[in-house]
């Protein structure tokens, strides 16, 4: 069935519908990873987004029950150059198309993803709509104009606290849209995790007396989360703290910094980041559309620990006096390289 991806200015990219046949609106972003499409589909940080894969062949190793970062896909739509239907992998249990159908996610294949990515790089990430088997009209343009993904964290955070064992060190985890591999990495280090909804008051967390506090990844604009930022201000300095991605941005905002939206974001598994403290470059997995403004940070209290070698944006900070650090990239990977997993060990040592 014919379909296409439509933008507000009338630009459209044609293809064939696969997966669940429905129209959908979302922020259109691209990911440069060659593998890991199942982890990308289920990453809560992609909530509200239509993801374009720049690698041309997707679906060749199928889908399995292990490589998931949440209970179901969080994307609004999925755009690829070529869908491979006859998957071949010993862990594969079903095709990518069946998986999308089952989870009611629309896909668009046969798209010139190189041209689409160049379009997004020039124009910046923007809202779009996947249209199914019809010409677009003014109602479709209005749908795109009215797209709203504000305060996305509230829609995907856990509804109530839950505890994960084994127990050695107790870590309070604030869930802004946490990936399962972060939980796996912390459990692997023999920590008891109490996972809290995003809006949990600081008083409740401190009442449970954790040994440390972890702030997760998540979707959306960090500056909208005013209550969360105020809670983090009350937690900073009380317990050792580590933040990843959105957690990093929220820590910096709580410290008085500012964030700004990138033109088209950093999404992929091949982003070079330099650890300035170790004087070493790592290849990292990334998924974010916002970044911390360097000039907004108080250099008397904070040092920049990591930078992105593509655009020199901030990728990590450490506090000079308090047990606190954070990174913009994903050291838990999934998908991508696990070169920076040492940061979890440093957090455990800090505890």
| Mean pLDDT value of segment 98-110 | 98
CA dihedral angle for residue 147, residue 152, residue 156, residue 157, rounded to 10 degrees: -170
Position 135 scores a pLDDT of 85
- Concerning whether 245 is annotated as a catalytic residue, the answer is yes
Total count of residues recorded for the chain: 351
Could you tell me the pLDDT band of residue 342, with boundaries at 50, 70 and 90?
Answer: very high
Q: Which domains does the chain possess? A: 2-145 (3.50.30.20), 153-350 (3.40.50.880)
Position 159 scores a pLDDT of 94
**Residue-averaged pLDDT of the chain:** 95
Q: With a cut of 90, say whether residue 134 has pLDDT above it.
A: no
**CA atoms lying within 13 Å on the CB side of residue 159:** 0
> Could you say which of 39, 97, 315, 332 is catalytic?
332
Position 317 scores a pLDDT of 98
R_g over Cα of the chain? 20
Q: With a cut of 90, say whether residue 136 has pLDDT above it.
A: no
Position 278 scores a pLDDT of 96
pTM: 0.87
User: How far apart are alpha carbons 260 and 44 in whole angstroms?
Assistant: 21
User: How far apart are alpha carbons 177 and 156 in whole angstroms?
Assistant: 6
- Concerning whether 330 is annotated as a catalytic residue, the answer is yes
Question: Within its chain, how far is the Cα of 208 from the centroid?
Answer: 28
Q: Is 9 exposed, middle or buried (0-12, 13-18, 19+ CB in 10 A)?
A: exposed
pLDDT in tens, 62-72: 999 999 999 99
| Mean pLDDT value of segment 103-127 | 96
Q: With a cut of 80, say whether residue 110 has pLDDT above it.
A: yes
Position 166 scores a pLDDT of 66
User: How far apart are alpha carbons 309 and 261 in whole angstroms?
Assistant: 18
Question: Within its chain, how far is the Cα of 190 from the centroid?
Answer: 25
End-to-end CA distance of the chain: 55
pLDDT in tens, 155-196: 999 999 999 876 679 999 999 999 999 999 999 999 999 999
pLDDT in tens, 14-61: 999 999 999 999 999 999 999 999 999 999 999 999 999 999 999 999
Token pair recorded at residue 127: 């809202």
What Cα–Cα distance (Å) separates residue 15 from each residue in 11, 12, 72, 130, 223? Answer: 14, 10, 25, 10, 36
> Could you say which of 245, 252, 271, 288 is catalytic?
245
What Cα–Cα distance (Å) separates residue 149 from each residue in 154, 243, 293? Answer: 11, 22, 22
| Mean pLDDT value of segment 234-251 | 98
Q: What b/e string do you get for 153-188 counting C-beta neighbours within 10 Å, with b at 16 or more? A: bbebbbeebeebeeeebbbbbbbbbbbbbbbebbee
């Amino acid at each position: 069935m014919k379909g296409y991806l439509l933008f507000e200015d009338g630009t459209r990219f044609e293809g064939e519908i696969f997966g669940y046949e429905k129209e959908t609106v979302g922020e259109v972003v691209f990911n440069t990873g060659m593998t890991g499409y199942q982890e990308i589909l289920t990453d809560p940080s992609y909530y509200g987004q239509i993801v374009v894969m720049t690698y041309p062949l997707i679906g060749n190793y199928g889908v399995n029950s292990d490589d998931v970062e949440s209970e179901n896909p969080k994307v609004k739509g999925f755009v690829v150059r070529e869908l491979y239907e006859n998957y071949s992998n010993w862990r594969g249990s079903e095709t990518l198309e069946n998986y999308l159908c089952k989870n009611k996610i629309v896909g668009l294949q046969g798209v010139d993803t190189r041209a689409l990515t160049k379009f997004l790089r020039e124009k910046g990430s923007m809202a779009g709509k996947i249209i199914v088997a019809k010409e677009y009209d003014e109602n479709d343009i209005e749908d795109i104009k009215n797209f709203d993904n504000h305060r996305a964290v509230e829609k995907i955070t856990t509804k109530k606290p839950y505890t994960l064992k084994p127990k050695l060190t107790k870590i309070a985890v604030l869930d802004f849209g946490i990936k399962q591999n972060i939980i796996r990495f912390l459990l692997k280090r023999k920590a008891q995790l109490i996972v809290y909804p995003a809006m949990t008051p600081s008083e409740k967390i401190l009442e449970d007396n954790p040994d440390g506090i972890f702030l997760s990844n998540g979707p959306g604009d960090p500056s909208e989360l005013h209550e969360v930022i105020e809670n983090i201000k009350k937690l900073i300095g009380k317990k050792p703290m580590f933040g990843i991605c959105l957690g990093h941005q929220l820590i910096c905002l709580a410290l008085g910094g500012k964030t700004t939206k990138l033109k088209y974001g950093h999404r992929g598994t091949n982003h070079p980041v330099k650890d300035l403290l170790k004087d070493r470059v790592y290849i990292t997995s990334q998924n974010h559309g916002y970044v911390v403004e360097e000039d907004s940070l108080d250099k008397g209290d904070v040092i920049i620990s990591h930078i992105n070698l593509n655009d020199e944006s901030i990728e990590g900070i450490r506090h000079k006096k308090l047990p606190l650090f954070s990174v913009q990239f994903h050291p838990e990977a999934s998908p991508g390289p696990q070169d920076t997993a040492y940061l979890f060990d440093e957090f455990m040592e800090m505890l």
